[in-house]
Chain A
Amino acid sequence: MRQLLSFLLLLFVSLCRASSSPSSPDAPDYHEQLVLRPLPLSSLLASFNFRTNITLSAFEAHNFRYFPRSLAQILQHAGTRELHLRFSLGRWDAESWGARPWDGAREGGTGVELWAWLEADTDQEADQKWRTLTNALSGLFCASLNFIDGTRTTRPVTSFQPEGNLPNSKLANTHLLYGVLPHEVVCTENLTPFLKLLPCKGKAGIATLLDGHKLFDASWQSMAIDVRPVCPADGECVLQMEQTIDMVLDIERSKRPRDNPIPRPPPGHELKCDTSKSYHSDDTCFPAEYNADQDWSISQIFGRTMKGTCPLADPSVPSVCLQIPDSRSVYTSDGTTENKNPDKLSRCFDITPSSDFELWLPLPSSPSAPEVVTPDTPLLYAERSFTGHGQERGGMQTILRNPSPTSPVEFIYMESLPWFMRIYLHTIQARIEGNASVPSSSLIHEVYYRPAVDRARATQLEVRMRIPPRSTVFLTYDFEKSILRYTEYPPDANRGFDVAAAVITILGEGRKRYALRTTSLLCSLPTPDFSMPYNVIIFTSTAIALAFGGMFNILVRRFVAADEGPEMTLTTVKGRLAGLAARLRGGRA
């Protein structure tokens, strides 16, 4: 009877296993996609997206499949519910490139940014887990993430919301921590571990196009890792990991052959001239507009062709999509089928899994046809800069412009500043231009401020603002630059200190949020003379000794007339010395 029971149980368990197996065809758990979008001014946005799903039960059971084991173990060890890691470089030129990809949700400020929801009962426990997490990720991604200490960590209150579905019971004891390293230089050594996390390890599929030489030569690039729990309405909760790389390549620059990378003036017959000029002739050339005539191929831009598709990826999601108007023609390698989207602005390609893929975009057939899809206007333009001069104090000015003619924009402006920038919150001011009907005092709705503590905590400032349509707001405040101990300066002290990008979260309809980041800034602090520690110690001690000695002498010595008391002349000194010598001699004899 007992044996029968255990057999039945075994059968039941194996049946359950079979039905919930992640490899079943209706639950694909890995897919990847590359979206290429030519931008105005001869640029190309390439968005790589890799997504892995794993059920929470499989995750708990250490049955990781496509989910990278190294990262999963770190997440489990540090009690991380949701993780967002960004490595970014360069500046997104919103004026010409328009709105950001993914609504800004997959980008970071210059350097490294990390924020995570950690499960902990107390703040101290959260800090402990955060330290574990940063140190482990630092090793995994070869980045200085371990330098995210208390002085670079903040706990944003309103700027970030969990992207995944954390159950409310668990949300209560999760802590959001946010750390940023604006000084970190993102480079190839961060890309290699990033690719290693992929199931195909960059050996097949779209990841073969990722080459450090091209990625870090881009005008703007952002590598993102997002891990979040997703609970669909029907079915089991899954842990979703999304790896994203967005890069804006300068087509002219990327097309330079790799073996001849030094830019040289092109020979006369290769110059593109504006033939409409009246003085145009064989020996006179007015250079044609820079962004005219984009033609490129994948191998020119990325330096190599794409090696088929990743066999582990879901074949129903097209690997490569191109966002250009339907009027332009595209040539691809044999065996590829082109599917145009009904919106006439993009097309996707079905690729033969085992052969190389090449895509060539020739010049537009007629000069009047639109070359690129016109980018969307962003909801808000933001620019941040320092004001004032000198190394004693300064001001921060952020220019926020709402381009929309009709709708106001509401957002949260968040700064996380190093402690050595002492900001004066009483000087914060919002000034409006372009819309006289709104008083400046009504722009700032709410301020959350946590001041810095010297050598212990960073400043955290979150400002909720609302900008009326078609107007520009100047947000300014003053700060003081403190002088540090000489050991606290980096070796390149006079280069300045990087100040992390401000994060602007635009509150859309419902829970929809758009993010954008300003550029990072370089703040120069006053520096001491680094060669002087001994000299300063000696000089100051001498000054103190002079003062103390002078006082001591005056206080303890007796006054006598100049001709009174024992005289200390050369003769007496000689006599004393002679006496001493005689005594020494006598002692020896």
Chain B
Amino acid sequence: MIERQRTIGRRTTRWQALGVLAFALLLVASACGDDDDTTATTAAPATTATTAAPGTTAAPGTTAAPATTQAPVAEGTAYKIGFVSAATGGGSSLGLPERNTAEMLAAQWTDGIVGPDGVHHDLEVIILDSESNPDAGASAVSRLITEDEVDVLVAGTLSGNSLAMAPLAEEAEIAMISMASSRRIIEDADTGEARFWIFKTPQENGHNAAVQTDYLSALGVSTVCYLFENSGFGQDTLANGQKFFGDADIEIVYSDSFERGDTEFPQTTSIQSSGCEAVVVGAIPPVSALVTSALRDFVPNVPIVQGHGNCAFAFIELAPAAVEGVPLPCGRLMVADGLPDDDPQKNLLVQYVVDYTAFTNGEPVSTFGGHAWDALQWAYEGLASLEEGLGLDDRRAGVRDHIEANITNWPGTGGVFNITPDDHLGLGFDALTFVRVENGAFAYFPPEAW
């Protein structure tokens, strides 16, 4: 009897323990799926962090050229740009192209900067790794602010990381340009006011939804189904879709989410029975490609419209037959060669593609590297506007003021920017254009062709 009771007691304990363990794992799983624009937040071991000490591991030329190679001009204070991207960890598919771009520009800028007063300054780009981890990212930013005393920050691959870094920049009164998409980075969530010291370069889900609305209207569609991945990013695409589609009298008759690891999509059954005229998907690869594949099988006659999270070659690579012909909004960088010649961005985009491909020995271009290019160019222009003789605080303020006042009608990789004191992104809806997958590559898909 006693023996039996003890057995039951042991058994209960074990099953309880198993339950606790399983749910602990479940928590880990759900936490991983919750970040807005990364596939997971598992940080890589810290030993792989690429801390580019000045002139050591970074690209040759991170340290500015000695002044002796310059024409005999007055030599001023050396300038420093602090750069932090998620070069390792779950966000590395975004952060690596950004770091490559930073190394490429550092190599192009070895001659330093000559200010408006003719004084030459050495320029150094200090490149650090956030490991896709908000804590590591924030400590990298504080190091840049306090120890390296940089003049301007280009920091943050992921929205969560950027949000952790922004308060540090605000407190130190230094301009920070983020490479992440969330509107919350540059606007106070409560008041809607622009954050004085913070800027960002990527397009947003609002732009995505607005361009999709134009396309759906052109198709003459009045009912759509919306599928989105169950993450902050996916939910935000849906929220924007509801807002913009509704304004154009396009009704979302059925919406449902899926997980990033899903292989079966029971949603297709509901799409079939809901009778919607088009399906809009808000997700990133690889699952976005799998959803497209499933939709092609189950509802082959319903047009699919994908979202701007797929503007990277991985989207095509993972399901080439299924995504062929699928239209989606992307920045113009993905279709640089196909743009009309009078496009204000065309020349710089083509140049970026050539430079990037050469610098990385043939890596495919993604929009993320472009976000870093835009951000670093703003920082560079801000520094180039400074007169010699300013203290650190004045230099930091000067860069910020220059970006806010002078980035107007400014063509970059992400669009034509018009920064104002109220809008620290400064992109219109036309920053995204429709592209279509044709013969396994992104092709320009102008409104005339809809």
Indicate, yes or no, whether A interacts with B. no
Q: Which residues of A contact B (CB under 8 A)?
A: none
